[in-house]
Amino acid sequence: MLSFLRFFGRLTLWLWRGLMGAGQLLLSLAMMTIVALVGAGYLSNHPSAPKPKTTLVLDLSGHVVEQAAPRTGDLLSASLLHQNDAGDIELRDIRDTLEAATKDPSIDRLLLKTDGMQVSGLAILREVAWSIDRFKASGKPVIAWADHYDQRQYYLASHANQIYLDPMGQVLFQGFGHYRNYYRDALDHLGITVNFIRVGTYKSFGEPYVANGPSPASQEADELLYHSLWSDFTHDIEAARHQPAGTIDEQIDTLPQTMLAVHGNTAQLALNQHWADRLMTPQQLTDLLKKDGHADSDGKDFRQISLDEYASRLPNPKGHDIIAVIVASGEIHDGEAPAGAIGGVTTASLIHDARDNPDVKAVVLRVDSPGGSAHASELIRRELALTQNSGKPVIISMGNLAASGGYWLSLSADEVIADPDTVTGSIGVFALVPTADGLMNKTGIHTGGVTTTWLSDADNLLRPLDPRLTQILQSNVGHLYQDFVQRTATSRHLSPNAVDAVAQGRVWTGRQALDDHLIDKLGNFHDALEQARQRAHLDSQAAILYVDPNPSPWQRWLNLLDQSTGTRLSLWFKFPVTSMPFFQQTLPPMVQDLSPLITPLITGQTSYTPLTHCLCRVLP
């Protein structure tokens, strides 16, 4: 019996050691696999220098953004839905790549491909076009080719030396503007009341919930805005293509007749109207680019390098004279936020760190935001003011949007520079509080109880909003509006009455904002950097350093992997799917519209936070 027990004990020990050894082996193999994948991804992103007569391929499939958001959730979501998610392309990569390629003797031409490009706002389009023009001015040709061009894609293509179009393609101009959905009757039918508390005649964010159509003030502001933007947009394209002013509007008006004349052949129509220089299939394009020694090593394709490949070769900024660039892109929220969004605490901390860095001599804040939390906006502005007081120049560079809370950020700066078509202003404040007491009555649900004060249950959204709370909110919103106006007046050296006259929640283009003294000058990001250099007394060799929120350790790993590897790892570790941004972006537009009402009603909570937000949408 004793010998049997000893044998059983040894057997158990062997089995345990075997299991532990197998577990360690599997863990080691998994870690080696991950390291190998990371290494392969790293090496694939660091190619050798391009050979002479290489074509730089600027493929803009995806969203062109000021700052890319973390990709983990989107990659997983796209994989689960079997969709091709092209991802984000950072504007800085386009600018830096084209600037470097302009001086690189190995790069002798640029191929611009815009199929699948998604971008909102004219400021980003103009920034990319400016970089293309600088490349072209160096004497290197730019060729654009696409299956189809929508009006945004064609804006960039118009800056090429030659525009090629697939024989089955088209060039489509539509114009600006859109129709909003208005939910007043539907919400009344459901028994949901929306309390829209605002200061500013033109503050139209809440109108879709309290009206069945746009107010006259909203209609007036939108009409002026859209027509101004459309005028600039068409003028730029017509000038780039040497077309008479008004050509695009005239061709839109006569489109039914001109389509009949070409028997519905949209590509031929583009050729006839001089929007395309030549119709060309992808193979014909490849054959063209293979000429003059441009064939690759096997002769089957042309010698080329992609935007990602070239950008990965660019050196990191170095030096003791640094201009720090901080991107404020997205809606403004309280607390912390990752890259691609604005958290009051996060962005304020980035500015604080730049101010405390002795190598940083100036700060450029690149703003692309419709606004959001007034408190978070003020946190960021305070840090900018402290940076100014420390002796370091602060320059605001406005992108697509710098409206409402996005404009608030500009109120502590040595210079405010906007694109002519930046949507800015919207100086106004509002609060939006939905209540579902009517819905409860319809379903036969009632509430009752005892509280020590009338405020104890004031946040119960299943009861009507107490008039006393409405009064408090209106008072708070009014105070914030006066504060906004006064801060603007102080910053812009205007009287409060002069600011109030152009405030009231109304949006303006950058060009109009200059006329109203809300900004200092028109220009692009390059102009903002030059202004920072001059004010900090730096030479042209000063380094440009982007200061971004630090990603989590897990995100750092995934950023080194390609899309498929990142997706597989995400699946292995079972990320929560329903909370991911991709799913939120793919919700039907009506659900997105109603999300400010649905969320508090479902959770039963509202913060009663006054917002400085602009319901801005420019391009279709």
Q: Hey, which residues are catalytic here?
A: 203, 404
Report residue 325 as tokens.
């660039």
Angle at 382 between CA 379 and CA 387, to 5 degrees: 130
What residues form DSSP beta bridges with 545?
324
For residues 79 and 567, is the Cβ–Cβ distance under 8 A? Answer: yes
Q: Is 332 left (phi over 0), alpha (psi -120 to 50) or beta?
A: beta
Q: How many CB atoms lie within 10 A of CB 296?
A: 13
List, in sequence order, every residue forming a beta bridge with 149; answer none if it has no partner.
171
Structure tokens at 542: 């000063």
Nearby residues of 150 by Cβ (< 8 Å), 6 or more positions away: 172, 174
Angle subtended at Cα 124 by Cα 49 and Cα 489, rounded to the nearest 5 degrees: 135
Query: Coil, strand or helix: which one is 203?
Result: coil
Contact assessment for residue 332 and residue 365, using Cβ atoms and an 8 Å cutoff: no
Q: What is the edge-to-edge ordering of all strands in the sheet holding 371-373?
A: 193-199, 429-435, 611-613, 371-373, 332-333, 342-343
Residues 185/422, Cβ–Cβ less than 8 Å: no
Q: At 345, give phi and psi (nearest 5°).
A: -70, -45
In 177-287, at which residue ranges do the beta strands (DSSP E only) sit? 193-199, 278-279
Cα-based distances in Å from 137 to 161, 176, 348, 612: 11, 30, 39, 42
Distance separating alpha carbons of residues 339 and 341, to the nearest angstrom: 5
Half-sphere CA count of 374, side-chain side, radius 13 A: 23
Q: Which residues pair with 199 in a beta bridge?
A: 429
Residue 341 and residue 368 in contact, taking contact as beta carbons nearer than 8 Å: no
Which residues have a Cβ under 8 Å from the Cβ of 126 and sit 6 or more positions away?
236, 419, 420, 421, 524
Neighbours of 161 (CB within 10 A): 13
> Tell me, what amino acid is at 468?
R
Distance from first CA to last CA of the chain, Å, rounded? 85
Are the C-beta atoms of residues 431 and 611 closer than 8 Å to each other?
Answer: yes
